[in-house]
Amino acid sequence: MRILSGIQASGVLHIGNYFGMMRPAIALQVEGEAFYFIADYHALTTVRDPKALRENTRGVALDFLACGLDPERATLFRQSDVPQVTELAWILSTVAPMGLLERAHSYKDKLARGLSATAGLFNYPVLMAADILIYDSDVVPVGKDQKQHIEITRDLAAKMNETFGPIFKLPEPRIEAATEVVPGLDGQKMSKSYGNNIDIFSDEKETRKRVMSIVTDSTRVEAPKDPSRSTIFQLYSLVASKDQIANMRERFQKGGTGYSDFKRELFEKLWEYFAPMRKCREEILADKSYIDNVLARGAERANQVADHVMTRVRAAVGL
């Protein structure tokens, strides 16, 4: 089984990225041949500062490694170290129906948030399809917001197969039900573009501040509270043990504890949960060439697979 996923180099990673995509991807690395990459071509649709893009790319590699990606098991690489993927994106774009891309939620969301309608933003799902198909991927672990992109990938693969004969496998999304949408400070989907994020590796003061600013309703301290509608409880459920979760649920329902006490408990658990990752991150940072070496090895392996698939694609389409 080949497993593949990517994460954009558009900023620092938050706990929504961790529970929605990174943790499932890291868990899968022992189940098959995993390929994980930092999507710097995709990030170019929003990042226009070369220094920031370069730094974010290394930063994402660092954080992914610190969170448990094992470069002996999984191939970690930069998307742009495999430029053939842009060639495949072009080929796929020649069969991609405009209507299919016009219906993409993420494109419409981005325009609604004020990004300008560039061809790159519009073609984003085509490049993502190329990322997936160029490694003959079987399974793609992602958060729920990426589901439609995987459906578009399957549509494009099927269209190519129909037109030119069997070239591509049809990949399956792998979306963890329990963490498909991790809520942010305001209860909406956590996202760096909504500013409602809690980052995995911010310092203690900042993390505490973010947790304490989770939006709550005006239920009084003594009154019972509904755990299922609380962001505090949902986030706590990601990092606490079964017993601790049951205990917090009971205290929500009983009343008598205020939201700020629950927030303090959440902060403690969250801080403790990521402690081993913070330690690992320090160790990686101490070895100056570690990240570059991992990415260089990753690029080499990814290129082997991509070259192999592209030979097949070029022959099939007549290039």
Catalytic residues: 110, 189, 192
Task: Pick between residue 154 and residue 269 the one whose CB is nearest to ligand TRP.
Answer: 154
Give least dist CB 143 to ligand ADP, A: 2
Give least dist CB 90 to ligand ADP, A: 24
What residues numbered 18-57 form the site for ligand ADP, per CB under 6 A?
Answer: 20-21
Short-list 206, 208, 186, 222, CA closest to 264: 208
* Residue number of the CB atom closest to ligand TRP: 6
Give least dist CB 131 to ligand TRP, A: 4
Q: Which does 181 bind (CB under 5 to 8 A by kind): ligand TRP, ligand ADP, none?
A: ligand ADP
Instruction: List, in order, residues 6 or more apart from 66 with CB less than 8 Å away.
Output: 201, 277, 278, 280, 281, 284
How far apart are the C-alpha atoms of 190 and 188, rounded to whole Å? 6
Task: Pick between residue 124 and residue 313 the one whose CB is nearest to ligand ADP.
Answer: 124
- H-state helical runs in the chain: 15-17, 23-28, 40-43, 50-66, 84-93, 98-102, 105-112, 119-133, 147-164, 204-212, 231-239, 242-254, 259-273, 275-286, 290-317
Give least dist CB 10 to ligand TRP, A: 8
Q: Around Cβ 144, how many Cβ atoms within 10 Å?
A: 16
Residues in the site for ligand TRP, rule: CB under 6 A? 4-8, 39, 42, 128, 131-132, 140, 142, 146, 149
Which residues contact ligand ADP by CB under 6 A? 7-8, 16-17, 20-21, 142-143, 145-146, 179-182, 189-193
